[in-house]
Amino acid sequence: MAGVDVAQALAGRRPEAQDRFLTERSSVVADVMAHGFGRRYPDLAAKTGFARWQLAALVVAVTAITAAVALVPLAALALLTAAVTAYSLLNAVIAVAGLLHRRPGAAPTDPPVPDEELPSYTVLVPAYQEAEVIGGLVRHLAQLDYPPDRLEVLILVERHDPDTRRAVLAADPPPFVRIVQLPPGPPQTKPRSVNLGLMLARGELLVIFDAEDRPDVAQLRCAAARFAARDGRTACVQAQLLFRNATGNWLTRQFAMEYALRFGLALPGLERLRLPIPLGGTSNHFRTDTLRALGGWDAWNVTEDADLGMRCAAMGYRTETIESITWEEALDTVGPYVRQRTRWFKGFLTTTMVHTRRPGRTLGRFGVPGVLVLLGVVAAAPVTALLQPLLSVLTVLALTGPVWSSTGAGLVVPAVAAQGVSVVVWIAITFVAARRAGLAAPWLALFSPLVPILWSAAAWRAAHQLAFSPFSWEKTPHRPHAD
């Protein structure tokens, strides 16, 4: 049974009939959830792996960097500094563009849609081992400011996770909330889960929330108004993400400032510059039919959000941002933070691999500005994190060790100065983002250059996993917080 036939069969049935179909045709549905996208768009599928030229280029790059460090370390220092500085300055330019956007929490600018004209809406909530937090989200979704008769919430739960299912039922869900038990099968990832949700969705619009999320109660109305004010080329609307436990400790404060920079400045800046937007993992609102035309999510890409955002641009669609906020939970311990960042970096590298397999087609799809985002934002985040330890060692050796020479001072001094400028620029844009988002103690941005130490650890873990376990998904733990 073809994937499109499965989707049509599910979409045309009532919930009770859908549940029977999921039980009776479990293996068929599971196959479509995992492999439907790859069959439809094999050139954009993560499971296809690297092209031969990409592997060859990777070997050449690693060999060249190793040789440069060993034979001409000062030249290597200059080149690596130039790469990291370019990444910092590109982010600064994007952030400055984002400063011209509206502030988080500002009044919406799109004309509101009257109740009788509001489109039907599907909310997808992929939830695995979330028994501690899912009840709070269910109670929160019951308070959404949206007509209940035009709203459906699908809680997507693995069959071998009865605790999460019981927690949903214990929260006394409203009638528009439905638990969907997923057919078993690999890979056990979030994108595989929401692919089933997309097949079941009856709403004209669709959004994803994570189990720990607390979206603004009017967020669906805000997104519906944006879609109504735009033409059909606007495929996605990304809400802003901030943390409700930002003041928990030093790490949560730094994480909150990073999110303030990304969602308050960087993504709006990309929108203003009309560049592709790598999506965040939650609070993405879509036109359901357009999302289906895009193929849904790649079940084998561990940052399915960034991948889908780039695919939107590659296929000629736009993504915009809205000021409505979804409050999330910041990770407050180093281990889970590094594991989560490992998955992100691995996914960014996978997304870059997917979209550059055929360079000519990549340029045709994205244009030069879009390729700049793909390479200078998506790929550069993990790559610069990988290079940072090497750059630091070279810098110390150049200033204090045997690498130093009077003739090489012409390379060392500018390199160190450029690194200093990059640090100052990063602190400045982080401070501005934190203050603009209303975070407490924005002066802690002074310590933001320390966070890349954790990023480097995550990047090296990501490189190892990309080689030996490219599709593994490290679960991010969540703990309940007072709403």
Q: Please, which pLDDT band fits residue 108 given cuts at 50, 70 and 90? A: low
Which residues face 215 on adjacent strands?
Answer: 326
pLDDT for 133 beyond 80: yes
Q: Please, which pLDDT band fits residue 24 given cuts at 50, 70 and 90? A: confident
Extract the tokens encoding 85.
Answer: 């500085």
The three-state secondary structure class of 438 is: coil
Give me the chain's average pLDDT, please.
Answer: 92
Separation of alpha carbons 68 and 91, rounded Å: 27
Output the pLDDT for position 477.
Answer: 81
Percent of the chain with pLDDT over 90: 82
pLDDT digits (tens, 9 = 90+) for 274-288: 999 999 989 999 999
pLDDT for 408 beyond 80: no
276 neighbors 270 (Cβ within 8 angstroms): yes
The three-state secondary structure class of 25 is: coil
Q: Please, which pLDDT band fits residue 2 given cuts at 50, 70 and 90? A: low
Q: What pTM was computed for the model? A: 0.94
Separation of alpha carbons 20 and 22, rounded Å: 5
Separation of alpha carbons 186 and 192, rounded Å: 8
Output the pLDDT for position 63.
Answer: 96
Q: Which residue has the higher pLDDT, 148 or 109?
A: 148
Q: Give me the mean pLDDT over the 423-437 stretch.
A: 95
pLDDT for 106 beyond 80: no
Output the pLDDT for position 483.
Answer: 58
pLDDT digits (tens, 9 = 90+) for 148-173: 999 999 999 999 999 999 999 999 99
Find all residues with CB under 8 Å of 311, minimum gap 6, and list them. Answer: 44, 294, 295, 355
pLDDT digits (tens, 9 = 90+) for 389-400: 999 999 888 888
Q: Where are the alpha helices (DSSP H) in 315-358?
A: 334-355
DSSP assignment string, 52-99: HHHHHHHHHHHHHHHHHHHH-HHHHHHHHHHHHHHHHHHHHHHHHHHH
Of 100-109, 174-183, 280-289, the range with the lowest mean pLDDT is 100-109
pLDDT for 11 beyond 80: no
Q: Which of these, 370, 196, 340, 189, lies nearest to 274 by C-alpha position?
A: 370
Output the pLDDT for position 349.
Answer: 97
Structure-token match 């070997």, residue found: 59
Q: Are strands 318-328 and 205-208 parallel, antiparallel or unpaired?
A: unpaired
Of 68-82, 364-378, 406-420, the range with the lowest mean pLDDT is 406-420
Output the pLDDT for position 371.
Answer: 95
Q: Give me the mean pLDDT over the 246-270 stretch.
A: 96
Percent of the chain with pLDDT over 70: 95
Instruction: Evaluate the CA torsion angle 411, 412, 413, 414 in order and state its sign.
Output: positive
pLDDT digits (tens, 9 = 90+) for 287-316: 999 999 999 999 999 999 999 999 999 999
Separation of alpha carbons 454 and 321, rounded Å: 29
Of 146-155, 408-417, 474-483, the range with the lowest mean pLDDT is 474-483
Output the pLDDT for position 398.
Answer: 84
Q: Where are the alpha helices (DSSP H) in 279-333?
A: 288-293, 304-314
CA 53 vs. chain centroid, Å, equals 27
Question: What is the distance in angstroms between the CA of the first residue and the CA of the last residue of the chain?
Answer: 45
pLDDT for 361 beyond 80: yes
Helix (H) or strand (E) holding 393: helix 380-400
Structure-token match 């960042």, residue found: 341
pLDDT digits (tens, 9 = 90+) for 438-463: 999 999 999 999 999 999 999 999 99
Output the pLDDT for position 380.
Answer: 96
Conformation bin of residue 333: beta by default, left when phi > 0, alpha when psi is -120 to 50: beta
Q: Give me the mean pLDDT over the 15-35 stretch.
A: 89
pLDDT digits (tens, 9 = 90+) for 209-239: 999 999 999 999 999 999 999 999 999 999 9
Output the pLDDT for position 101.
Answer: 72
128 neighbors 188 (Cβ within 8 angstroms): yes
pLDDT digits (tens, 9 = 90+) for 51-63: 999 999 999 999 9
Q: Please, which pLDDT band fits residue 180 given cuts at 50, 70 and 90? A: very high
Q: CA 371 → CA 358, 361, 378, 404, distances in Å?
A: 12, 11, 10, 37
Of 5-9, 32-36, 148-152, 467-471, the range with the lowest mean pLDDT is 5-9
Q: Where are the alpha helices (DSSP H) in 123-229?
A: 134-141, 162-170, 190-200, 219-229
The total of other beta-carbon atoms located within 10 Å of residue 390's CB is: 16
